[in-house]
Chain A
Amino acid sequence: MSVVIVDYGMGNIGSVSRAIEECGASVMVSADPEVLLVASHVILPGVGAFPDGMEHLKVNSTDQVLHEIATKGTPVLGICLGMQLLADSSEEVRKTQGLGLVPGEVEKMSSHSGTLRVPHVGWNEVNVVTECPLFKDIPDASDFYFVHSYYYLTRQRDHVMAETPYGDNFTSVVARENVFGVQFHPEKSAGFGLRMLKNFISL
């Protein structure tokens, strides 16, 4: 097994590495296409804004490498901004094209006329919509830690693995074959978060 976390200059790489180690696996952090292409599992972390994220991914053509990896069938997990980057585009700051690995758009969360706080910060329940291996041994409606102002609007319902209620239900877990995305931070969601990461590296 070789779990590799994509180092593209954005993302809490330390926390994600530490969490994977806590799951009992060794992990590498790399921007090197050679390393990424032979990984058994690839994790795309992400903290910050979408346009910056894409700009950083274009350095060293990491975006193209991710396409190759996805086509090969390697399991890929996008976390938070990393999940959003899987989309076709985002309206954050300015309309920007994403990786287009799971069809959909990223939009700003609504405060519902000021009745809801944005950013969405804290623990919220993740309700499974489609059976997905990430949820093995995790009770349905478990809480995970969210901190974001934008959400993923999938184009196809069958790519929605789980939803979370905040005003309306928004998609909190997406998957398309071997490519997965989670809006919350499993590396910061205590026991169930670690279990989810373990499930990912067991794929």
Chain B
Amino acid sequence: MLKTRVIPTLLWKDFGLVKGIGFDSWRRVGTVLPAIKVYNRRDVDELILLDITATVDQHEPDYTEIESLSAESFVPLTYGGGINNLDIITRVLRAGADKVAINTAAYDNPELIQQAANRFGSQCVVISIDARKNDKGHYDCYSHSATVRTDRELVSWARQCEAAGAGEILLTNIDRDGTMEGYDVEMISLVSAAVSIPVIAAGGAGNAQHMLEAIVDGKADAVAAASIFHFTEQTPAEMKRYLSQHSIPVRNVNNKK
């Protein structure tokens, strides 16, 4: 049966990897290429690489760098950051990324999702949604690396993205991000129940139990995490062993090449 994926997320700012808390207070945590190599050597399921300043600073993706990075990845690599037109998507995919993650551009131009799905196939199009709960208990979507509150409500936006042809949703809780205090299971389950495309949960993983909750209670199809792999000794393989022990189907826990 289809396995649940554990996906390390690499956040790229200027020339290195960074990690923050609540999309703020960014710390440098290394360089990208070694991270990609190490993860591949350790047989990771998949990777997500997000350039967090591309949209805010208005620069195009670094295609040359994407090419070097994807050349070292023999598992799927999703690239996000500054994706706002079909030409950029063409170039990012040609550079070697397998999927693109679109966030801010989709709010300004929802037609882009349909156009991208038609041209490249839904399987290449991941819509990345950053959200936080407001004081009325509902979830608002944010753009521009969580600095601008949009007028979109989370569930209706997720449905709209699916209807437009998105292949997957990458869902991040802004307030939980970097805290390692657990995913926002309520938020994940709201979106999982509302769409029939895969949902990748992100924001807050601190241990394998958090991932289990996101999957069992939140019904996430995959779990993404960053801080836990940068700042603790835990590895994706350990996460998967724990999940497997709790009856979650995962890849390659027992097989040795």
A residues sitting closer than 8 Å to B (CB atoms) are 12, 14-15, 18-19, 22, 47-49, 81, 111, 114, 117-125, 139, 142-143, 145-149, 165-166, 185, 187-194
Contact = CB atoms under 8 A, between A and B. Distances in A.
B98 A188 contact: yes
B74 A117 contact: no
B70 interface: yes
Contact of A119 (B40, B43, B75, B123): B123
A145 B252 CA distance: 12
A178 B242 CA distance: 43
A190 B74 contact: yes
Nearest to B72: A18
Contacts of A18: 70-71, 96
Contacts of B76: 145, 147, 185, 188
A81 B43 CA distance: 25
Contact of A14 (B46, B70, B221): B70
B37 interface: no
Interface residues of B, number: 39
A22 B40 CA distance: 13
Given A15-B70, A123-B2, A48 B120 contact: yes
Main secondary structure of the interface of B (DSSP, over half): loop
B189 to A, nearest CB: 15
Interface in B48-100: 67, 70-71, 74-76, 93-96, 98-99
21 contacts: A14-B94, A47-B93, A47-B124, A48-B119, A111-B196, A117-B196, A117-B197, A119-B123, A119-B197, A122-B2, A122-B3, A122-B222, A123-B45, A123-B251, A124-B1, A124-B3, A125-B1, A142-B255, A145-B46, A191-B43, A191-B257
A48 B94 contact: no
A18 B221 CA distance: 29
B198 interface: yes
B70 to A, nearest CB: 7
Nearest to A139: B255
A115 to B, nearest CB: 9
B74 A49 contact: no
Nearest to B4: A122
Nearest to B76: A188
Given A12-B93, A143-B251, A119 B122 contact: yes
Contacts of A15: 70, 96, 98
Contacts of B222: 122
A143 B251 CA distance: 7
B30 interface: no
A123 B124 CA distance: 16
A109 B124 CA distance: 17
B134 to A, nearest CB: 29
B167 A189 contact: no
Interface in B196-255: 196-198, 221-222, 251-252, 255
B1 A165 contact: yes
Interface string B12-53: 000000000000000000000000000010010110000000
A118 B196 contact: yes
